[in-house]
Amino acid sequence: MQPFELSLTEAARAVRARELSPVELTESVLARVAAVEGRLGAYAAVVADAALAAAVRAEREISDGGPRGPLHGIPMALKDLIDAEGLPTTASSHVRAGHVAERDSAVAERLRAAGAVLLGKTHTHEFAYGLITPQTNNAWDHSRVAGGSSGGSAVAVAAGGATFAMGTDTGGSIRVPAALNGVVGLKPTYGLVPRTGVTPLSWSLDHVGPLTRTVRDAALVLSATAGHDPRDPASVPGPVPDRFPGGDLRGLRVGVPRNYYFDRVVPEVEASVRGAIERLADLGAELVDVEIPMARHIQAVQWGLMVPEATAYHERSLRSTPDLYTADVRILLEAGALTSAGDYLRAQRARTMMREAWGRMFEGVDVLAAPTVPMTAVEAGRETVEWADGTTEAVSDGYVRLCAPANITGVPALTLPVGHDRAGLPIGMQLMARPFRDATVLRVGRAYEESVAGVRRLAPLAA
């Protein structure tokens, strides 16, 4: 096994044991980026010289005093919405051409303090306003979408071009590309990881979180990045999880939705996810049927919040330089200007009611298990999907549909790979819990992951 193939946990163990140096690891990952990036388009920018210099520093520090923690000397990437001092934050948009971050975002600051090595910035759908990330190709099939908006981060991790990466999630933008590329993605509880220095899409829905090869890796990154930051008005001094036990799931109740989450889902996705849920039962969990509350309002609430908030942020540049936006994003931003204050307030009221209803639902279960997305990665350029009931749905609506509830309610949501369809494309299962029970979803995900040890973690991509 080459160093770029190691998970974060494996790489950290090897670095700690002095079996692998940060320089060797970083050189291996950079060589992998050079070998596959031309076909994938995961990166907006790679800073190879700076990464190698950081790896040299990390190696010296570890040699002198031992590692600061598991991220010390580990190469990673940041979604190109997340500021890193001295580097451009373009949001993959011509609107931000020439923009250079003056200081680190809170997340970059914490990762730097942990000793992580920054490889570069990964592509996003322009300003994170989409579920495709058209600049980037799926790691498993280059003719298919990567998912979005953290598509570059997911593909980099899936292809071995980063040991882990950070993304953002407003309606599934971590979980969708993670599921479509066969990696792990975590949307933490709203407010648990600060968004200071992160270009917003929708302030009341935005989250920052990791994309990794394993659930255990995601837990390590969460421990390093979570915690209150007074500069972020949404940041909360909630509990920062630092213990993520594995083992069996005896005494744990897993909710299985009887409505919404398995509606309009392709059969192969449903079969894989239901099989994974049965595996949780084999590990000792009790399966409990649950009704998803206010299901018919989810899409309206998601769009009713996101669209006007996004337009408010872009109001000035949309007036001054509208032609610099891509057509799909510009249309959505212009549509937001037509949303009335009354509609926005009704969406906020409905969100409050939905949070309360989900809180009551979680009184009967510890975790909710469901598909992450209703279908695997579609062909690039495909705009709609037809369902067995005769309805037609936009691809972007389909991908956001099962992820949006966790953004509206702010609950933690983890996606992890649980199989492949007949075309060999990855399928993801989503685990959710009540707010600040991030450790619970990670515990369940880790137990499942360990029970199917040996599954492939990297896309079968030849150098």
Establish if 268 belongs to a structural domain: no
**Residue 27 within a domain:** yes
* Per-residue confidence (pLDDT) for residue 107, from 0 to 100: 98
Detail the DSSP E strand segments found in 100-199: 117-122, 164-169, 184-187
Q: Whole-angstrom Cα distance, residue 215 to residue 203?
A: 27
Q: How far apart are CA 380 and CA 180, in angstroms?
A: 13
The residues, any chain, with a CB within 8 Å of residue 110's CB and separated by 6 or more, are 224, 225, 227
Q: In sequence order, which residues have a C-beta less than 8 Å from that of residue 262 and are 6 or more positions away?
A: 270, 370, 371
Return the CA Rg of the chain: 20
Range of the domain at 214: 3-243
pLDDT in tens, the chain (463 residues): 899 999 999 999 999 999 999 999 999 999 999 999 999 999 999 999 999 999 999 999 999 999 999 999 999 999 999 999 999 999 999 999 999 999 999 999 999 999 999 999 999 999 999 999 999 999 999 999 999 999 999 999 999 999 999 999 999 999 999 999 999 999 999 999 999 999 999 999 999 999 999 999 999 999 999 999 999 999 998 777 777 777 789 999 999 999 999 999 999 999 999 999 999 999 999 999 999 999 999 999 999 999 999 999 999 999 999 999 999 999 999 999 999 999 999 999 999 999 999 999 999 999 999 999 999 999 999 999 999 999 999 999 999 999 999 999 999 999 999 999 999 999 999 999 999 999 999 999 999 999 997 666 799 987 7
User: Which string of b and e fits 87-107 if b means at least 16 CB within 10 Å?
Assistant: bbbbbbbebbeeeebeebbbb
Residue-level pLDDT at 200: 98
Which stretches of 80-123 are assigned E, i.e. beta strand?
117-122
Return the CATH number at 183.
3.90.1300.10
Give how far Cα 180 sits from Cα of 142, 378, 424, Å. 12, 9, 11
Is residue 342 in some structural domain? no
CA angle 9, 10, 11 (to 5 degrees): 95
pLDDT of res. 455:
63
Classify residue 82: in a domain, yes or no.
Answer: yes
> Using an 8 Å Cβ cutoff, are 116 and 71 in contact?
yes
Would you call 230 exposed, middle or buried from its count of C-beta atoms within 10 A (0-12, 13-18, 19+)? exposed
Indicate whether 378 belongs to any domain: no
Buried b (16+ CB within 10 A) or exposed e, 272-290: bbbebbebbeebebeeeeb
The answer to whether the pTM exceeds 0.85 is: yes
Spatial distance between the Cα atoms of 448 and 282, rounded to a whole number of angstroms: 10
Strands 384-386 and 392-394: antiparallel
Domain membership flag for residue 337: no
Question: pLDDT at position 41, please?
Answer: 98
Burial, 329: exposed, middle or buried (Cβ in 10 Å; 0-12, 13-18, 19+)? buried
Active site residues: 79, 149, 173
Burial label for 117, CB within 10 Å (0-12, 13-18, 19+), is buried
CA atoms within 13 A on the CB side of 300: 13
Number of domains in the chain: 1
- 15 found inside a domain: yes
262 in a structural domain: no
Which one-letter DSSP state was computed for residue 166? E
Rounded to an integer, what distance in angstroms lies between the CA atom of residue 109 and that of residue 412? 23
